[in-house]
């Protein structure tokens, strides 16, 4: 299973997905390459807004199933052909040199026993966005808890060894990186730009505080199904 599988979970994400796919295409030829094939998998949870049509038009491999990001990620990973897996959110965009950064990581000594994440950047000019970015990037570097918005590059062997994504309604990213452990997490030399609309809608203080509360309750053992209530 040579090469790389790019995996994006979606649910009514057409508006943001287009920009995500454009950024991926700008950095790599997503057609067959005998030396290093790359496949792009869209794992959709029942979209009704044209997401699936867009995926087909862009030549993506489309998987349909019930909604739930943990379930969608797990299903796509099981179906993927690549020996490396790169998980990315539909509202994120990568820089033009993203493939160079990923291949550099994958070729480094010991990389198959680790996982890589990007540096978070929000698509807002507000000073509050810089504050949220600093906190998120600090959390990833110091606590070993990168957000799903920061992407995750991991060798299939390591992904499977730790049990992969679990079918849970929330905190699927935290659940996986905790099983990996901080010692096996490494930064990728890329900045991942992510939509700031949820912060704009909920508030630049309110949303981070809610996220922190949910994380604290999760670490204290509160079941994910309770934490998922009201989450968006």
pLDDT tens, residue by residue, 123-166: 999 999 999 999 999 999 999 999 999 999 999 999 999 999 99
DSSP code for 63: E
Non-local (6+) Cβ contacts of 222 within 8 A are none
The β-bridge relationship of strands 152-155 and 84-87 is antiparallel
CB of 170 closer than 8 Å to CB of 228: yes
Give the chain's mean pLDDT.
Answer: 93
Give the angle 192-100-129 at the CA atoms, nearest 5°.
15
Q: Kindly state the average pLDDT of the residues 10-25.
A: 95
What's the pLDDT tens digit per position in 185-210?
999 999 999 999 999 999 999 999 99
4-227 maps to CATH 3.40.50.10190: no
Q: Kindly state the average pLDDT of the residues 71-86.
A: 97
pLDDT of the residue at 44: 98
The fraction of the chain above a pLDDT of 90, given in percent, is: 85
Picking from 49-53, 113-117, 167-171, which range would have the lowest pLDDT averaged per residue? 167-171
Residue 207's Cα: distance from chain center in Å?
Answer: 19
Q: Kindly state the average pLDDT of the residues 60-65.
A: 96
Question: pTM, whole model, 2 decimals?
Answer: 0.94
The fraction of the chain above a pLDDT of 70, given in percent, is: 95
């Amino acid at each position: 299973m040579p090469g790389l599988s790019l995996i994006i979970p979606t649910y009514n994400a057409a508006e943001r997905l287009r920009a995500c796919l454009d950024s991926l295409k700008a950095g790599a030829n997503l057609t067959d390459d005998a030396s290093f094939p790359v496949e792009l998998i869209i794992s959709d949870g029942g979209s009704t807004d044209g997401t699936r049509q867009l995926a087909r038009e862009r030549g993506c491999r489309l998987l349909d199933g019930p909604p739930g990001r943990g379930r969608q990620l797990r299903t796509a990973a099981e179906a993927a052909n690549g020996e490396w897996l790169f998980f990315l959110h539909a509202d994120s965009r990568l820089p033009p040199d993203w493939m160079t950064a990923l291949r550099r990581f994958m070729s480094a000594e010991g990389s198959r026993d680790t996982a890589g994440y990007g540096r978070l950047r929000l698509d807002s000019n507000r000073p509050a966005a810089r504050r949220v970015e600093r906190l998120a990037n600090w959390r990833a570097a110091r606590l070993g808890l990168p957000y799903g918005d920061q992407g995750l590059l991991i060798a299939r062997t390591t992904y499977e060894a730790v049990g992969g994504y679990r079918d849970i309604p929330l905190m699927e990213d935290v659940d996986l990186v905790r099983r990996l452990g901080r010692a096996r997490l490494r930064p990728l030399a890329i900045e991942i730009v992510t939509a700031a609309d949820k912060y704009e809608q909920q508030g630049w203080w309110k949303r981070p505080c809610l996220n922190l509360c949910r994380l604290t309750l999760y670490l204290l053992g509160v079941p994910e199904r309770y934490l998922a209530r009201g989450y968006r």
